[in-house]
Each structure stands twice: as structure tokens, then as C-alpha cells.
Amino acid sequence: MSVDKTTVAKIARLARINVPDDRLEPLAAELNGILSWVAELDEVKTVHVEPLASVTGHALPLRDDVVTDGDRLNDILSNVPEEASGFFVVPKVVE
Amino acid sequence: MNDLLDLNAVEARKALDKKSISAVELTSAYLRAADSTSELNNYVTLTADHALAMAARSDERISDGTAGLLEGLPIGVKDLFCTKGVSSTACSNILSGFTPTYESTVTSNLWAAGGVMLGKLNCDEFAMGSANETSAYGPAINPWRGRDDIDLVPGGSSGGSASAVAARAALMATGTDTGGSIRQPAAFCGVVGLKPTYGRCSRWGIVAFASSLDQAGPFTRTVADNALMMTAMASHDPKDSTSTQDPLQDLIGAARDGVKGMKIGVPREYVMDGMDDEVVKLWEKGQSWLRDAGAKLVDVSLPHTKYALPAYYIIAPAEASSNLARYDGVRYGMRVGTDTLDGMYEATRAAGFGDEVQRRIMIGTYVLSAGYYDAYYLKAQKVRRLIKEDFDTAFHSVEALLTPATPTAAFPVGRKIDDPVTNYLNDIFTVPANLAGLPGISVPSGLTNDGLPLGLQVLGRPFDEASIYRVATVLENAAEFSETPTLMATRGAA
């Protein structure tokens, strides 16, 4: 499997990264280099193998369903690029 | 009195307790050392006032008889750790100016044990790299120089940590290891670096790269120092759901146990094209050192080793693409404004992330996207199980494994590489342990003909760091690695 310019543009869109048109072709070449290398995995027989997502070997612990944190408006807003009246400000989404 | 910088951590602790030196003196010496080696670019933030205030409190606690395990010891912190009130950027422009209002669990543990924070250390952007060359602050430099006398990389991603400890600009340092980011730079800089078992150190408050692989660990000059620092770093943390509740072994005492009667495996697949002959020779030497110390060396097979790297370069970018989705210009960090929300996201992320980070996010996005998920991501997770099962099988018959840490010694800064895959091969011996969640250490064990350090790696069973330290101590004693780098701070350099 290999990616072309159009696919790279689609991936960039999904990743929310603005990639200029003149970078699409070189990026496609770099990504294809990586993808053709990882294709080595096709040699491995994995028909009856379960995927492994976590190596911890223990079940995730449960905790009491209680509030353990909060009232930190100032902390949360302390690094905000733009703020108004205790809210995050973003470009207008709804007309 | 000897040069303060000559003392390793264990020696410095004794000198502090005997009051033959003070924590303020020791910290001042390290702050001067960091200044005098600033050309290595291993610090991105030096917190001198903070350090001296912490050291003064350490001196009080030593006087009160309430000294902690690391009381008064000056420590550098990889910029991937969030430190309260101190800039924490993961060496990325997208986090420039980010100042956390909280402290990572690992660094909290270090300060609770009396450690003194010197500052924040350079690393690859979001820990993505093996040469510290993707940092927004520019590359950190290796204090070792070969015959050509050109700048060499310290390895990565924890390049600043390894460089600082080697140059004596920090007595100890924290690092993180997702695919070798502690062990590879430790090998390149001639210091000791441990990646603990996944789950041993809390990941809370560490900027996430690939959450199922990331693990924090210590950089030190000696194996005993490493066990000391590790003992203070590790803890169960309810804020990290993968944090273990298994009690920590006696790591400090483990060094005394030796390896007599221990079965140590030598995996026959840890050989690759392009591997230096000197690395192979050192590996053989390491085997004979352990044999001489009474260990039984066993030939073992880890048949899926060659697939670890490609599996890693699917799994790690996939997790990274998800983790790094949070950098959107809304809540913290850089924002590049446009008049639409999506436009702002796209402009911010294009301006804030460097090339390698963008490349990995794109690969990760692709392998997780509809139509490709099964072929890439799921396939890689299946191969990951096979790799872990290889280790499980080997550990039925051996208690630890001995391998080279890296295929080569440190290489020049700015080496032109057109193909990202060539760079990825640096991690060939370290990545399998991350996929399997195993602990591993790199111990400086020899020099190349060109005078550059090489490391041997010891891998252990999950949560058996003690066995790793046993083997590492024997290697350290046999190697008698006492060479020092070209650029190293001395007290006289103040």
C-alpha cells in the first residue's frame, strides 16, 4: 500500500495540520518510505494471535465514584491563549 | 577537599550527612558547572534561585536529622516532566511559554526525598527522536568527542539528560524511554540509564508520547547511584491507572548480591547489518565478565526481534497522533489565529509542531484511519504480542538477558539522512523491551578505537529491576569504565 498526494492531503486534514501544496509530494515520498518498511510485518503469521494493547497484565483498578478535584478555574486558565469571563475563546463556530 | 563534582551520588550523600560539604555548596558547584558547559546546550531552563532555596532547606533537614534518601543531591529534569511554576515545553514550540500549575508524580517524589532541582533538560521534541536533533531549542551536544573533534549527538530523546550527567552539569537526571530514549543516550554518553518496568514509575504529569510504552527512569554516573535514585522515583500512583501496586524490591541492596549461579540469556537475534565490530566484541567481553563472576550464559532465541522496530513505528505514532490531538491552540500553548476554528487548529499545529512530530502524527493518523486500521495498527498489536511471548519464553529459562545497547557509538550532529527509517534503526536493540514492558539498563562498558563510549544492555523480567542491578553492578566492576569525556565541568572551571 502506498499513499499519493491526494491521500496525504486527506491525512493532513484528518490530523488538523496545514500542509502546503508543495510539501505534499515530498511528504508522500517520506511516508511511503516508512510504510513500505513496516510492510515487513506482513511476513508474520498472526491469524490466531490476539492483539496486545497493554502489557500490565492487571485489570484497571476501580475507584470510588466521588469528586476528587475541582474549583481550579485560575489554574485551568493560567496558560490560556485567549479567555473571556472565565471561558476559553475560539473563533466563531455558529453564525 | 576533593572536587565536589568528583563525588558520585552515594559519596555525596555521605559527605552531606557528615557535614563535610553542604547542600548549598554542592548545588552551587553544579550550577557553575552547568554554566561552564553551556555550549553543550543540555539545559533549556536553569532554575538557579529555586535550586539554591531547595538546597538551603536540605541543609536544614540534614541538621535536623530528617534527611531524605536524595537529600541535597542536584538533579536535572527532562523538559518532558511538568514542574510547577517552571516552564515545561517538551522542547516543542507548540508548548512555548507553558508553565504548569502542578508537579509530575515522579518529580514530586524526587523533591519529597530531598532532591534539588537544577533546571530543565533538552530533549527531542515530544521525545520523538534518537539524536536530540528535533528539539525546538536546537540539538544538545555530546561531551565526548572523537578524533575528528566534531560535535557528536548525545542520543535521544533524553539527550540533554545524558549529556548533562556525563559533563557533570547534573549529578543525576530524569529521563523517559518510549523506544530507547534513556538507554540509547546513556550508551552514547557513557552514563548509566534505566528504563524501569512499564508501570513502575507513574506517568502522571509527564507529557505523553505513546502511553502504552512511555516510562520514566534515572540517569546517573554509577549503578549504585541509579538504584538510589530509582528507589526514590518509583511509587504507586492512583492518578496513573497503569501504575503498579507491587512493592518495590530492595534495589540498593541488590548490587551486593553478585551473579553467582544466575542464568543470563544471550539472544542470538541481536545482531544486525551495519553493527560496529567493536560493539560485537564488547558484547562478547560482557559475556565473559559475567561468566567469570559465576553466571551461566545461555543461548536464547527471540525469533520476532526483527519485527519489533516496524511494529513500534506503527504503534508509537498511532498513540502519539491520539495523544497530541490535545494541542489545538484552545486551552494552552501556541495559537495561530485565523477566522475559522478548523483553520486555527490547522495553522496552530502546522506552526507549532516540527517536521518529525508532524510526520509521526500523519503516520499515526493514517494507520488508525478507516480501511487501514486492521492492516497496520491491529497487525502491529498482534506482532507486539508475539514479541512479548518471545520474552516470556526466554524468561522461563533465564533471569536476565545481555545485549548491546546500540548498534553504533554516537554519530555527528547534522548527519544528513534522507530516509527517516535509517534514523529509526538506532533503537533496534532497545525497542523490544518497550513493546514487552520490560525493564532494561544501559551500562557504560568500553570505548571504541575512536575513544567513544559504548554501553551494554541488561533486560530483566517484569518488576525485577533488582536482577538488572545485580548484573549491571558486575558489568560495571569488570569494565572499570573510568574514562571521562572531553568536555567536562571541573570545579576550576567556575
- Residue B267: the pLDDT is 98
In a domain, B76, yes or no: yes
Phi, psi of A83 (to 5 degrees): -140, 150
What's the pLDDT band for B492 if we cut at 50, 70, 90?
very low
What's the pLDDT band for B420 if we cut at 50, 70, 90?
confident
**Of B271 and B123, the one with more pLDDT:** B123
pLDDT, one tens digit per residue, over B331-375 is: 999 999 889 999 999 999 999 999 999 999 999 999 999 999 999
Segment 329-348 of chain B within 8 Å of chain A by CB = 329-335, 337-347
Distances (CA, A) of B304 to B45, B158, B231, B414, B439: 42, 27, 33, 32, 19
What's the pLDDT band for B489 if we cut at 50, 70, 90?
confident
> What whole-number distance in Å separates Cα of residue B243 and Cα of residue B235?
8
Instruction: State yes or no: pLDDT of B164 exceeds 60.
Output: yes
**CA distance, residue B390 to nearest chain A CA (Å):** 13
Q: How many C-beta atoms surround the C-beta of residue B379 within 10 A?
A: 23
- Chain B residues whose CB is inside 8 A of the A52 CB are 381-382, 384-385, 388
ipTM, two decimals, is 0.96
- Residue B81: the pLDDT is 98
Q: Cα B333 to the chain's mean position, in Å?
A: 25
pLDDT, one tens digit per residue, over A65-77 is: 999 899 999 999 9
Name the residues of B annotated as catalytic: 78, 157, 181
- Residue B451: the pLDDT is 96
Give the pairing of strands B116-121 and B74-78. parallel
**CA distance, residue B213 to nearest chain A CA (Å):** 9
- Residue B423: the pLDDT is 78
**Is B198 within 8 Å of A19 when comparing Cβ atoms?**
no
Dihedral sign of CA atoms B247, B252, B256, B260 in order: positive
Residues B41 and B122: beta-carbon distance below 8 Å: yes
What's the total number of domains in chain B?
A: 1
- Chain A residues whose CB is inside 8 A of the B435 CB are 55
What's the pLDDT band for B494 if we cut at 50, 70, 90?
very low
Chain mean pLDDT for chain B = 96
> What whole-number distance in Å separates Cα of residue A38 and Cα of residue B401?
26
- Residue A94: the pLDDT is 84
Judged by a CB distance cut-off of 8 A, whether residue A71 touches chain B is no
Three-state helix/strand/coil letters over B29-68: HHHHHHHHCHHHCCEEEECHHHHHHHHHHHHHHHHHCCCC
Instruction: State yes or no: pLDDT of B1 exceeds 50.
Output: no
Q: How many C-beta atoms surround the C-beta of residue B474 within 10 A?
A: 27
In a domain, B300, yes or no: no
What's the pLDDT band for B493 if we cut at 50, 70, 90?
very low
User: Who's near B493: CB < 8 A, 6+ residues apart?
Assistant: B32, B33, B36, B37
Phi, psi of B43 (to 5 degrees): -95, 140
pLDDT, one tens digit per residue, over B203-229 is: 999 999 999 999 999 999 999 999 999
> What whole-number distance in Å separates Cα of residue B134 and Cα of residue B65?
45
Instruction: State yes or no: pLDDT of B248 exceeds 90.
Output: yes
Residues A89 and A83: beta-carbon distance below 8 Å: yes
Residues B420 and A30: beta-carbon distance below 8 Å: yes
> Where exactly are the structural domains of chain A?
5-43
> What is the C-alpha end-to-end distance of chain B, expressed in Å?
16
**Is B313 within 8 Å of A61 when comparing Cβ atoms?**
no
User: Who's near B414: CB < 8 A, 6+ residues apart?
Assistant: B133, B139, B151
Residue B152's beta-bridge partner residues?
B412
> What whole-number distance in Å separates Cα of residue B356 and Cα of residue B369?
20
- Residue B491: the pLDDT is 61
pLDDT, one tens digit per residue, over B58-106 is: 999 999 999 999 999 999 999 999 999 999 999 999 999 999 999 999 9
Residues B43 and B91: beta-carbon distance below 8 Å: no
For residue B27, how many C-alpha atoms fall within 13 Å in the half-sphere facing its CB?
Answer: 30
Dihedral sign of CA atoms B234, B239, B243, B244 in order: positive
pLDDT, one tens digit per residue, over B294-314 is: 999 999 999 999 999 999 999
Instruction: State yes or no: pLDDT of B422 exceeds 80.
Output: no
Judged by a CB distance cut-off of 8 A, whether residue B112 touches chain A is no
Whichever domain contains B81, its CATH number is 3.90.1300.10
Cell of B38: 553551556
Instruction: State yes or no: pLDDT of B2 exceeds 70.
Output: no
- Chain B residues whose CB is inside 8 A of the A54 CB are 212, 242
Q: Whose CA is closest to B472, among B381, B397, B403?
A: B403
Judged by a CB distance cut-off of 8 A, whether residue B305 touches chain A is no
pLDDT, one tens digit per residue, over B11-55 is: 999 999 999 999 999 999 999 999 999 999 999 999 999 999 999
As a whole-number percent, the residues of chain B with pLDDT over 70 amount to 98
Judged by a CB distance cut-off of 8 A, whether residue B421 touches chain A is yes
By the 10 Å C-beta count (0-12 exposed, 13-18 middle, 19+ buried), B450 is classed as: middle
What's the pLDDT band for B479 if we cut at 50, 70, 90?
very high
Cell of B123: 530533549
Residues B120 and B77: beta-carbon distance below 8 Å: yes
Q: Buried (b) or exposed (e) across B337-363, using 16+ Cβ within 10 A?
A: eeeeeeebbbbbbbebbbebbbbbbbb
Q: Cα B118 to the chain's mean position, in Å?
A: 17
- Chain A residues whose CB is inside 8 A of the B310 CB are 37-41
Distances (CA, A) of B359 to B163, B296, B336, B377, B430: 27, 45, 20, 17, 22
Q: Output the CA torsion B45→B49→B55→B60 (10° steps).
A: -150
**Is B341 within 8 Å of A63 when comparing Cβ atoms?**
no
Structural domain harbouring B214: 7-236+441-455+465-493
Peptide bond between residue B20 and the one before it cis (omega within 30 degrees of 0):
no
